[in-house]
Structure formats: C-alpha cells, structure tokens
Amino acid sequence: MSQTQTIIQTLKGYPWHIAILGFIILVVTNGMTANGNTVFDRAFLETFNWSRSELRLAGTITFLGSAALIFFIGMLIDRIGVKACLLFGTLLLSVCLFSYSLVENLIHLYLIHIAFALVIATAGTNVVVILVSQYFRDKRGIAIGIALMGTSAGGMIISRLGTELLENMTWREAFRTEAILPLFLTALILFLVTNKKVMDVAPQKEAFDEKEEQSGWSFQETMRSRTYWMLVGSAFLTYFTIMALVQNLFLHGTDQGLTASEATNLFIFLTFGAMATKFAVGFFTDYFHPFLIFRILLVIMILGVIMITMVTADLLWFAILIMSLGWGGMYTLYNFMVVDLYGLKAAGKNTGVIAIFESVGAATGPFVLARIYDGTGSYQFGFWLLVGFLMLSLLISTQFRDPRRRHMRDPAVLGTS
C-alpha cells in the first residue's frame, strides 16, 4: 500500500464534516466581527470624521463584552451543548450586520458591537473548539486545526467580499447584503450539528464511553495549575499583539501608500500563512510536544513583527506572511493545549477562562495601538511595544510544564504543575 493510500485509509471513518463546518462557522462569525470588515474603516472615517481610536473602541467593546460573557456561555455549553448557542449566535450576527447599515453615530456603532460580543461568545472560537473536540479524540489536533483555519480565511474572504461590495454599492447597502450570509450558516448548523452524546454519532474508533467523556481535570483542579495560568498570561500578550496588528492593518497599509485593493490583499498573505501553520500544527502535535512547537512558532512571530516595524510598503506583504506563519500555529495550540492537557471534563469552563483573557488582550490591543497613532501620528512606537510583549510571552513559555505527568502520578501536587 502506498503512503497516500495509507493516509487516506487512516483518515476514513472520522466525522470530518464537523471540522469543515467549524471552519465555515469561523469564516463567517470571526470574519464579520473581528477583522474582515476593517475594509470599511476608511469609509467610516470619511463619512463621520471619527478618530481612529474612537473607531477602534468599537472592537474593544466587542472583545471586552465577550470576555465578560464567555465563561458563562462555557458553563451553559457544559449543560445544554453547543447547537443552541451556535444557532442563536449566527441569527444575532445577521441582525447586527443589518443594523450596521443604519448607523448614524458612535452610540449606534457601540451598541452593535455590544451585540457582537454575544455573537463571539455563542458562535466563536471557544464554542467551535468544544464542538470539534466532542467529535474527535485521536485526530483532535488535525480536526481543530482545520476548523481554526476559518478564523484566518474569514479575514481574507470577508475583507475581499467587503471590498468588492464597496466598489459596486454604498457601505450601507454592502452591510445589508452581508447580513444574508449568516442565515445560510444557521441552516447548516440546524441540520448537521447534534446535541446527542458523541458516542451516538461518532464512528466506533472515535466513540467516547461515559468514563472517557468525563475524564480530565475538574475546573477547580485546573485553576490550581501553574502552567494553566502561564498559558493564560501568554495568550493575553499574543492576542493583544495579533489583534492590534490585524485591526490596524488596512489603515497602516493605506498610510504606507497602498491602494485600498492592495491593502486588502495583505489579508491574503495573513490568511495563507496562518492557515498553513494552523493545519500543519495538527500533524506536528502527533510527533512533537506542543510546548516545543509553541516556542518555535512564537520566535517566528516575533521576527515577523520586527519586520513589519522596519520594512517599506513594497515588502510589507512578506513581513505579514512571516508573522502569520508564527501566529496561525500558536492560535491552534492555545485551544488544543487546554483541551489536550486538561481534558473534556470541564472543557467549557477551562476554555472559557483562557478565552476571557484572550478577549481582553484582543480588546485592548487595537485600541492602544490606535491611541498611540493618534498621539504620535505613527504606528512605529506601538509596533515595538508589540515586539516587547511577544518576547515576554516567549519568556513565560519557557516555564511551561506538562501537568498531565504530575496529575497521573499524584493529584495532590496539582498546585505545582
């Protein structure tokens, strides 16, 4: 049997349609709430004469709001499952996008972004990771990698969609058109996702019995794990950095002399770099410890951000590509490591806490960078600040310890792992 045939035979029998659905969900929900619609920024600045920090504050409201909600949504998922949350989130997203077409002032904008927070909490990364994890065990890393590629693809697809719409209609009409897309997603979730136990829908080799489904650390045990809180701190710093860059990327590109279409194309390099490592990391975790992979990717990301700080417009695409190669894999690893290291027993709560800090980082990063621009007329100092944050994250990662080893030997030493 050839190597290709062996791989195909190995992958047969797994519920890959759930991983693909997770990808599609994140293309829409992440792309339309986080970074895909930043192509409308220039239109907003010209229409309303807002400052960049006033505009970025909308994103801060979204991510802080999701941080406040996501832990409670995680508790809800542990009780009722993911399907209801996903249906609610996608329907609300459609309402929010239509409301965007009616914006007249900052208050309107901020109210919509409060609702966006609920969309992220109920139909964002945290919920999708749990959805996919419930269907997979042996191929969980690959499946989560496939799903999380949607966060990167969303930036490229939705930004390109927005640019094309803006070339053919007003920005208000464009938002009304975009509001249709989440409705198709709602229908897919309705027919493809089940709230039954995994053992009732997964193939035999992937089925969890009741004991396996409840294996892992309790929420109280996880909260006493030192490594968990180091992951939390590292996640805050890296999410602060990546969202600061992504949310200001379109405006930075146009500041450097790129046209709107050329600045939009930067998201293509951001997407392909991140997608490549998000998917590849799923394979690498079968052969290397995730901590080693994490540190290597973080170094790559640091090099990319340094390049963004120093290069001219004609090389900005290359710097974005390098940075995204590091970020994409790290994004997957944060979600993978929490479930893999601490199990499914309290996955909703465990992923919920780290998601809170990720959201706070994502909320504050874009606003702080925009404020630095408003005060100095340049992103330069802000970019070097981001480099410093990533280096601190790398230092923290050197102290990671695998908690499963201590947990298996002696649960009484939880506080040291």
Angstrom CA distances, 375 to 110, 287, 330, stand at 22, 47, 31
- Single-letter residue type at 353: V
Specify if 170 maps to a domain.
yes
pLDDT at 101: 92
Lowest mean pLDDT among 50-59, 308-317, 328-337, 365-374: 328-337
- Can you name the residues that pair with 216 across neighbouring β-strands? 343
Stated length of the chain: 417
* Six-digit token string for 118: 């609920």
Can you tell me the distance from the alpha carbon of 301 to that of 330, in angstroms, rounded to the nearest whole number?
9
Judged against a pLDDT cut of 90, whether residue 274 lies above it is answered with no
Q: Which residue has the higher pLDDT, 54 or 196?
A: 54
Report the pLDDT value the prediction gives residue 332, as an integer from 0 to 100: 77
CATH of the domain at 79: 1.20.1250.20
How far apart, in whole angstroms, are the C-alpha atoms of residue 331 and residue 239?
9
Token output for 127 = 């919920």
The pTM score is 0.71
Asked if the structure places residue 410 within a domain, the reply is: no
Highest mean pLDDT among 35-49, 174-188, 220-234, 241-255: 174-188
Q: What is the pLDDT of residue 369?
A: 93
Q: What is the pLDDT of residue 3?
A: 46
What's the pLDDT at 393? 93
Is residue 129 in some structural domain? Answer: yes
Per the structure, the complete domain to which residue 67 belongs is given by 15-194+215-404
Q: Which of 62-76, 98-112, 367-381 has the lowest mean pLDDT?
A: 62-76
Is 304 within the bounds of a domain? Answer: yes
pLDDT, tens digit (0-9, with 9 covering 90-100), for 297-309: 999 999 999 999 9
| 6, part of any domain | no
Q: Is the pLDDT of residue 73 over 90?
A: no
- pLDDT (0 to 100) of residue 406: 58
Of the candidates 366, 29, 416, which has an alpha carbon nearest to the alpha carbon of residue 189?
A: 29
In a domain, 4, yes or no: no
9 inside domain: no
Helices (H) and strands (E) in the chain, counts: 20, 0
**Residue 409: pLDDT over 70:** no
Mean predicted lDDT score pLDDT of the chain = 82
Q: What is the DSSP string of 379-412?
A: SHHHHHHHHHHHHHHHHHHTT---HHHHHHH-GG
- 59: Cα within 13 Å, side-chain hemisphere: 31
Residue 200 maps to a domain: no
- Our count of domains for the chain comes to 1
Confidence grade of residue 1 (pLDDT, cut at 50, 70, 90): very low
Q: Say what the pLDDT of residue 403 is.
A: 77
Average pLDDT over residues 84-105: 94
Give the mean model confidence (pLDDT) for residues 27-48: 86
pLDDT band at 285 (very low <50, low <70, confident <90, very high): confident
| 248-279 CB burial, b ≥16 within 10 A, e <16 | bbbbbbbebebebeebbbbbbbbbbbbbbbbb
With a CB cutoff of 8 Å and minimum separation 6, the contacts of 12 are: none
Task: Name the percent of the chain lying above pLDDT 90.
Answer: 31
Rounded to whole angstroms, how far apart are CA atoms 303 and 125? 26
Give the DSSP letter string of 110-151.
Answer: HHHHHHHHHHHHHHSHHHHHHHHHHH-STTHHHHHHHHHHHH
Q: Is the pLDDT of residue 404 over 80?
A: no
